[in-house]
């Protein structure tokens, strides 16, 4: 894989086209789980695992099943099934290894299944790394890298947001702005800050 292309994927997915702060995908878990750093980072790791593994499996399904049999119209439903399988696996592991963390996640862990950021990565991979039904050179590795670094960008946003919200708990905030309203204001300011990366040329 071309090194310049790889670096462009890393910078793009983490900073320039961050799924939360640039595309505003996956805001549900972003707002719901970012009150404390530990659950936020753990959610980021879970999403990174799901995006990476689903990128691998969905690329293989698209390349060796959907394209050869002219069933690309089933891509969305097949991608969702793959994502749901990995989310179920993550949920079982977290429940078994860390019941406290599982309770902290609450409903947001199974909601990774319908997290549009995760589905967005799979759809983006099928659009970017296939031309006229043929995989571009290095498409599999670029798809995997894009899935991983999209998750890394998600985790970075979660980490930054949780750090800010933890510190704001020590500040007297007007009652009308507490929790969700203030979280959206912070997310907006973070998005404006990340817009500065859009000027990068690689």
Q: What is the pTM of this model?
A: 0.89
Helical (H) or strand (E) element with 4: helix 3-11
Distance of alpha carbon 164 from alpha carbon 186, whole angstroms: 8
- Name residue, tokens 């589905």: 119
Can you say whether the dihedral through the CA atoms of 2, 149, 15, 115 is positive or negative?
A: positive
pLDDT tens sequence across 59-112: 999 999 999 999 999 999 999 999 988 888 888 988 899 888 888 887 787 878
Helices marked H in 98-179 — which ranges? 99-105, 116-128, 139-168
- Residue 136 is classified by DSSP as P
pLDDT tens for each residue of the chain, 202 residues long: 578 888 889 999 999 989 999 888 888 888 888 999 998 998 899 899 999 999 999 999 999 999 999 999 999 999 999 998 888 888 898 889 988 888 888 778 787 876 788 998 999 999 999 998 899 999 999 999 999 999 999 999 999 999 999 998 888 888 888 888 999 999 999 999 998 888 766 5
* Nearest Cα to Cα of residue 41 among 25, 55, 52, 30: 30
């Amino acid at each position: 894989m071309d090194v310049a292309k790889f670096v462009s994927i890393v910078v793009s997915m983490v900073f320039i086209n961050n799924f939360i702060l640039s595309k505003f995908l996956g805001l549900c878990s972003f707002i719901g789980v970012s009150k404390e750093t530990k659950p936020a980072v753990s959610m980021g790791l879970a999403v990174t695992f799901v995006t990476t593994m689903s990128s691998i499996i969905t690329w293989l399904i698209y390349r060796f099943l959907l394209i050869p049999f002219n069933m690309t119209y089933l891509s969305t439903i097949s991608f969702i099934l793959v994502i749901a399988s990995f989310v179920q696996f993550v949920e079982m592991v977290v429940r078994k290894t860390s019941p406290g963390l599982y309770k902290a996640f609450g409903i947001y862990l199974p909601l990774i299944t319908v997290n549009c950021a995760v589905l967005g990565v799979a759809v983006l991979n099928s659009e970017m790394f296939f031309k006229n039904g043929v995989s571009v050179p290095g498409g599999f590795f670029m798809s995997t890298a894009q899935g991983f670094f999209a998750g890394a960008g998600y985790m970075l946003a979660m980490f930054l947001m949780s750090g800010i919200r933890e510190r704001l708990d020590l500040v007297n905030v007007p009652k009308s702005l507490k929790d969700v309203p203030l979280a959206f204001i912070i997310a907006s300011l973070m998005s404006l800050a990340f817009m500065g990366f859009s000027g990068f040329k690689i």
